[in-house]
Structure formats: C-alpha cells, structure tokens
Structure 1
Amino acid sequence: MRVQLKLILDADPFDAWRAVRSPAVLRELYSPLLELDPGGPVPTLWEPGSMDVTVRGAGVVPIGSQRIDIDFDLKRMPGVRILVDSGRPLTGPLSLLEGWRHQMAIAPAPGDPTKTLYRDRLDFGGPAAALLWMPMWTMWQWRGIRLKEMAPHWAFEPVRPEQETPTPAS
C-alpha cells in the first residue's frame, strides 16, 4: 500500500532540505495530534542511523513506539535530495504493518527555483495494511496541510546574503 503527497512548498529547496532533516520540525509537524518522544537527546539534524521514539496521542495517550532509521539518497537525480526512513513501527496498532519505507524528496520547483517541489511517499504492507490505509492517508493529508503552513517559516535567514541591499552610507 502507498500514501503520498506532491506539493509545491513556499520555501527555498535548501531550507526545505534542512527542515526535513530536523527533529524539531518533525515534532512541530505532528503537534498537537502526536508527540514523538525519543527519551533522550536528539541531534539538531538527522544523520544516517536509527533512533527509537515513543508516540503519544495529544502528548498523553500511549500509541506505541517507532524506529526511525534515516539514510540519504543524494545521487539518484541531479538536484534532487531524498531522505529515506526505513525504520518501522515497533509496538502499537501500526506494528501490524510490514515493509515500512518513507521517502521525502526535495527539488527546486519547476518554473520557480525559489520554491520546493516536495514529494513524500510511504510504502507499507502486511496483514493490516488495507485496514490502516485510510487512517494513514488521512494523516498524510493533514501532514500536507501542516507542511504548507510551516514551509514559509523555514528560512534560516530571512534574506540570503546575496539578496541583501546595501544600506546607504551616512
């Protein structure tokens, strides 16, 4: 089964790439519906490797645990960067799923390189996949709404140095 998004985000691809690698952005993305708790320190940006997190609904209702297993695909196509999470649900209802593979691709938007073409795809299988497809699809639609809301605020610097206008000398 598959759920996916294809969006144009109002963010520079550089800023979008940094955002999808940020655990802080991930926490904000799912808040307030879900809270992801790693139970310890998290990196500023994801690097290849894995981390287990506890998932709580509204920050209080235990839903289960999830392994996040990050890698990057930076060579498939020039100008496209892909974050790949091949982790999996460990406990809770989603642990009935198998073959979890989540990919987020970042590229300059066609016709406007100041915006981002964002593609987000989750492939999963297992005996409960058909039953859980609709809740996953619903979550992915909500995820798309949140990404569009958050993207304009991802710029690390409001103006890139090459865009600054000099201030007049006094």
Structure 2
Amino acid sequence: MKAIIFNGAMERRPQSTPVLLSKYIAGKLQEMGLENHIFNLSDAGLPIFDTTIIKTPHTVELMNQMFLEADIHFWLAPLYHGSIPGAMKNGLDWLEVSAKMPQPYLTDKTVGMVCWADGIQAMQGINTMDAVAKALRAWPLPFSVPLVRGSLFEADNPTEITTPNKEKLDLLIKLATSKKIEAREIHTPIAG
C-alpha cells in the first residue's frame, strides 16, 4: 500500500503549517511501515491547466504517476477566501491527462482531507476537496480534519501540534489505512 501527502499550499518555509502537518502524517505512516511520499505543490512547477496543449508537460506526467500509484491520498490545504488555493485546484485539474487510461483520474483511491483556517471556516475547504475528489472518482473518507490555525500548535512551542489535533490526525490516518473501510467492500452492489 502506498500513500501520497498532497501539500496544496504554496508555502516552503520549514516551520510552516503545511510542512509541519505533512511531516507529521508522513512520520505516522512511516511508523506503520507504509511507503509514502510528500508532494509539495510549491516545488512541482506545474503550468496553468491547458486543454489545448499537444504534449503533456513532464512535471504533469510525474505528478499523475505519483497520484495514480498511491492507494491512499492525504490532501492538505489552507483556506483562502472561502476555498482551497487555486494552485491546488489547478494541480488536481491536471489529472485530466489520465482520462483515457483504464483506471482514469483517482478511481477507487481513498482520500483523507485536512484544511486549516485562521477562523472557524476550514470546513469550506474540506467541502471543496470532497467535491473534487468525488468528481475524480475517489472515495473521500467520511471523517475529515478541519483545523483552527490559532489552536493548531502548542502556545509554548509553535512547531508542536497540540494533542487534540494530533488525535484527529491520527484518527484520519487510521481510517485511511484501515482495510475494513475499503470503498470496494462498502459499495459493492447487491446481486439479485
């Protein structure tokens, strides 16, 4: 089983929220013995989505390969003006190049979602990611993690995620990696 952590923020600072959250999730997956990769959108160099191009950009091919090879996705996004960053949506739009494959887009991939906001509106970002994941034929987890940026880290250690928030992230990881909730088992049609 492979996992990808999609850091949809454009921040590169080592102490930034998306980097710290990505590292936390990656560390937990590593502890479980699961192969994982962090895909930092800020380092990807993806062009603006363009359906008229003749040759797919190499960076887009690499992104598609990583996203399609992963069984489990964790999407992380800050809330910007009521939604996920436009650059993140642009990256997800590039999955269109997989449309003619036998298993296009993110067919049957499990997606766990994390969004943070300075206020209490992070659920708006979760809702956006949920809609996009479903449109890409993935199975969003029924549990997601909306976070309030002001209470995400310990007051005396701004790089340490608080225990309640770690517990939420741990539950998301547990649900995403659980064999008991595989989408194919849950949504198998009844014969008859």
TM-score (norm 1): 0.33
- Larger Rg: 1 or 2? 1
| Structure with the largest fraction of strand | 1
Q: Answer 1 or 2: higher relative contact order, Cα 8 Å, separation at least 6.
A: 1
| Structure with the largest fraction of helix | 2
TM-score (norm 2): 0.31
